[in-house]
Amino acid sequence: MRVLVVEDENEMADAIAHCLRRRAIAVDVVYDGAEAMDRLGYVDYDVVVLDRDLPELHGDEVCRRLVAMGGASRILMLTAMGGVAERVDGLGLGADDYLPKPFAVTELVARIRTLARRTAPARPIVLERAGVRLDPAGRTVARDGRRVTLTRKEFALLGVLLRAGGEVVRTRDLLAEAWDEYYESGTGALRVAMATLRRKLGDPPVIETVPRRGYRL
The string of pLDDT tens digits covering residues 67-80 is: 888 778 899 998 87
In this predicted structure, the answer to whether residue 125 has a pLDDT above a threshold of 80 is no
CA distance 41 to 25: 21
Q: Which residues contact 82 (CB under 8 A, 6 or more apart)?
A: 100, 101
208: left (phi over 0), alpha (psi -120 to 50) or beta: beta
- Burial label for 20, CB within 10 Å (0-12, 13-18, 19+), is buried
6 band by pLDDT with thresholds 50, 70 and 90? very high
| 61 contacts 33 by C-beta, under 8 angstroms | yes
Q: What is the mean pLDDT of the segment spanning 30-48?
A: 90
Position 186 scores a pLDDT of 43
Chain-centre distance for alpha carbon 93: 23
Least confident of 117-126, 177-186, 201-210: 177-186
Q: Tell which wins on pLDDT, 123 or 28.
A: 28
Which segments of the chain does DSSP mark as H helices, in order? Answer: 10-22, 33-40, 59-69, 84-92, 105-119, 152-163, 171-178, 189-201
Residue 108 sits at the vertex; the CA angle it makes with 71 and 7, to the nearest 5 degrees, is 65
pLDDT in tens, 81-90: 655 565 566 5
Average pLDDT, whole number, for the chain? 85
| 28 contacts 43 by C-beta, under 8 angstroms | yes
Position 111 scores a pLDDT of 92
